[in-house]
């Protein structure tokens, strides 16, 4: 397939390149059919960021009001399954939402939505919010299980059992003490799952945000427990890989339990 002579007018990279992409590369680069599942998180994150930019004087209250209203209209289209994806233009959920917002409220105001925001922090924020909501069911299982462990340990505290070292009986220990060793292990797993609920917004591309944006306010708006503090760590090494692995691990355990 021959590449087109001009870059796509609405493509994210369209202002940098003079030539077009091979259609095969366009199809390969699109993630919209996977990450459209993040439409809600992407829109809520955008509203929170726009509100912070409004408080910081980058957007006027009227501009923010139009952006917020427009994004809610975009969300309704996703929820009602009427959002029309444009192949070759909507690379991912972020570009799709921004393109549609521009059609609803006009490109001049919609184009200000992304001011001072990095696509990196936006992607990480979307994924962390999605993972957080997916993990809540798993967290409820763990909390229930920990309640059983602590209840048994308390009611059976007088039971004694042999403690082993090197596969040999070593010292007598309480049954409750042995049981709580597992309880603390699962409690650590619970804390690890809950650490996903941290906001990266305000980290910028790599070195932070120079506009004194209110990161705490954005985190609170999105229901996050706190902030990811180091922008280099966020973009360079962890991003969402570790939380994603934790979710997959617990999902696999849950699937094994449901097998006949």
Among the ranges given (11-15, 36-40, 195-199, 242-246), the one the predictor scored with the smallest mean pLDDT: 11-15
pLDDT given for residue 30 in this prediction: 86
Q: Give the model's confidence band at 16: pLDDT under 50 very low, under 70 low, under 90 confident, else very high.
A: low
| C-alpha span between 3 and 253 (Å, rounded) | 46
CA distances in angstroms from 129 to 147, 195, 197, 251, listed in the order given: 26, 11, 7, 17
Give pTM, 2 decimals.
Answer: 0.82
DSSP 146-209: HHHHHHHHHHTTT-EEEEEETTEEEEEEEHHHHHHHHHHHHHHHHHHHHTT-EE-TT-TTTT--
pLDDT given for residue 5 in this prediction: 43
92 is written with which tokens? 């991912």
pLDDT given for residue 229 in this prediction: 86
The answer to whether the beta carbons of residues 208 and 116 sit under 8 Å apart is no
pLDDT given for residue 72 in this prediction: 99
Mean pLDDT of the 168-173 span: 95
What are the tens digits of pLDDT across the range 17-32?
A: 666 677 777 777 789 9
What are the tens digits of pLDDT across the range 84-134?
A: 999 888 999 999 999 999 999 999 999 999 999 999 899 999 999 999 998
DSSP 184-198: HHHHHHHHHHHTT-E
pLDDT given for residue 233 in this prediction: 78
How many other CB atoms are found less than 10 A from the CB of residue 229? 11
pLDDT given for residue 206 in this prediction: 81
CA distances in angstroms from 54 to 49, 60, 87, 106, 218, listed in the order given: 9, 6, 33, 18, 12
What domains appear along the chain, each with residue ranges and CATH number? Answer: 23-110 (1.10.275.10), 119-245 (1.20.200.10)
CA distances in angstroms from 155 to 98, 152, 178, listed in the order given: 57, 5, 14
Query: Is the pLDDT assigned to residue 70 strictly greater than 90?
Result: yes
């Amino acid at each position: 397939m021959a590449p087109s002579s001009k870059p796509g007018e609405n493509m994210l990279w369209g202002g940098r390149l003079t030539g077009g992409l091979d259609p095969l590369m366009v199809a390969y680069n699109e993630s919209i059919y996977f990450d459209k599942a993040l439409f809600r998180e992407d829109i809520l994150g955008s509203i929170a960021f726009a509100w912070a930019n409004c408080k910081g004087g980058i957007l006027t209250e009227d501009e923010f009001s139009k952006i917020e209203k427009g994004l809610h209209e975009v969300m309704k289209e996703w929820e009602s399954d009427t959002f029309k994806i444009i192949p070759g233009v909507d690379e991912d959920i972020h570009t799709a939402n921004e393109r549609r917002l521009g059609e609803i409220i006009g490109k001049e105001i919609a184009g200000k939505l992304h001011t001072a925001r990095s696509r990196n922090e936006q992607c990480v924020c979307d994924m962390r919010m999605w993972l957080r909501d997916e993990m809540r069911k798993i967290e409820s299982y763990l909390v229930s299980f920990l309640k059983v462990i602590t209840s048994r340990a308390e009611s059976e505290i007088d039971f004694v059992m042999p403690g082993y070292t090197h596969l040999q009986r070593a010292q007598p220990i309480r049954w409750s003490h042995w049981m709580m060793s597992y309880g603390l292990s699962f409690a650590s797993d619970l804390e690890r799952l809950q650490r996903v609920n941290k906001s990266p917004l305000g980290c910028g591309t790599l070195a932070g945000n120079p506009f004194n944006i209110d990161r705490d306010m954005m985190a609170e708006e999105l229901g996050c427990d706190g902030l990811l503090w180091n922008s280099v760590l966020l973009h360079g090494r962890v991003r969402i890989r570790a939380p994603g692995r934790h979710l997959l691990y617990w999902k696999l355990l849950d699937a094994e339990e449901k097998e006949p």
